[in-house]
Amino acid sequence: MDKKVSVVMPCYNHEKYVGAAISSVLAQAHRGIELIVVDDRSTDSTAEIIRSFEKKDSRVVAIYNKKNEGCFTKPMNKGLARCSGDYVALTCSDDIWHPEKISRQLAALEAHPDCDVVHSDASIMGEGGKKTGKSIRRLYRLTPAEMAAHDISGIITRKNICCMSTILLRKGCLSTCPGFDPELRYAPDWWFYIELCKRHKFHYMPEALADYRMHSTNLTRNANLVYKDYFIIHSRLAARGVAPKEHLIAAAFAAAIIGEKGEMRKAAEAARKLGLSHGQRLKLATIERLSGNPSVLLSMNSARQFLLGAFHGFAGE
């Protein structure tokens, strides 16, 4: 297949990982690739590593920010604006692609012309690159039936089932969803998928086509930053009338985590006005009682997800 694929990789201070990430993209069996790496004014040797690849392979297009944007949303959008391929793939500068990822995903989209987006499972590895034996689907306790549906609008509003480094979409999708929402700094990919699936069907490939790296500097490890975005997303979904009770409870939970007690009370009051079940009332009461202790709330949420066997706790993310 001679189709060109534009790959966007935002990057900041990933000198330990970016070389392997870039190499895995350039080593794809499908050779028709342009790799757009956007360095967000790294303070380590990341930029030098990117330049070394830029010199060796003309497929690497590098953008070096003159000042740090503070998150990956704006760098991602800069990369998306530069895409010239027939397809667009997203990836992270600390993840690794398997050699057949792009070719297999292109074939999947050819086989499913009604779908515009394809994603897959991903293996989980530790900081040093050793496989943990776990995968994204198993970690989030996603069922095959949940993943197989081409219309994921029902589930994507409850939990983010897509691993960003496995996303490949037709370039035309960017005309309806041009980029990541700049109001969201650390979970804009989730909202991007929510918006994307309103107009485009997704196809899921159950095999792991990438390795997702978990390490101490993962952005998603900073609960306060991430839950600010979760509060916005859950509030938006409730305002749209999408399962408003659950999303208002989730917004109250997120507000409690980030210390916004006023917003927590507003969301809780709005939820109660809709009429809650006993279980929902218990959730809200627990959130309000423990709002001054976010670490306990987060621990309880994780335990609840484990006991339910589903990635759907107080916050529903």
Tens-place pLDDT, residues 81-115? 999 999 999 999 999 999 999 999 999 999 999 99
Partners of 208 in the beta sheet? 121
**In this structure, how many other beta carbons lie within 10 angstroms of the beta carbon of residue 61?**
18
* C-alpha span between 110 and 298 (Å, rounded): 42
Q: Look at residue 311 in the predicted model and tell me its pLDDT.
A: 33
Are residues 69 and 97 both part of a single domain? Answer: yes
Helices 244-257, 261-273: axis angle to 10 degrees equals 160
Partners of 7 in the beta sheet? 35, 89
Q: Look at residue 305 in the predicted model and tell me its pLDDT.
A: 55
Domain span including residue 243: 222-308
* C-alpha span between 45 and 16 (Å, rounded): 9
Q: Look at residue 128 in the predicted model and tell me its pLDDT.
A: 84
The answer to whether residue 180 is domain-embedded is yes
Q: Look at residue 225 in the predicted model and tell me its pLDDT.
A: 84
Partners of 131 in the beta sheet? 125
List, for the chain, all residue ranges whose pLDDT scores fall below the cut of 70: 1, 216-221, 303-317
Are residues 229 and 295 both part of a single domain? Answer: yes
Domain tally, the chain: 2
Are residues 154 and 80 both part of a single domain? Answer: yes
Cα–Cα distances in angstroms (integers) from residue 159 to residues 50, 165, 312, in the given order = 34, 17, 7
* C-alpha span between 283 and 166 (Å, rounded): 34
Q: Look at residue 312 in the predicted model and tell me its pLDDT.
A: 40
Q: Look at residue 1 in the predicted model and tell me its pLDDT.
A: 59
Domain boundary among 199, 218, 237: 218
**What pTM was estimated for this model as a whole?**
0.91
Q: Look at residue 306 in the predicted model and tell me its pLDDT.
A: 46
The answer to whether residue 316 is domain-embedded is no
The answer to whether residue 315 is domain-embedded is no
Are residues 179 and 279 both part of a single domain? Answer: no
Tell me, what CATH number does 76's domain have? Answer: 3.90.550.10
Q: Look at residue 137 in the predicted model and tell me its pLDDT.
A: 86
Q: Look at residue 258 in the predicted model and tell me its pLDDT.
A: 94
Are residues 29 and 167 both part of a single domain? Answer: yes
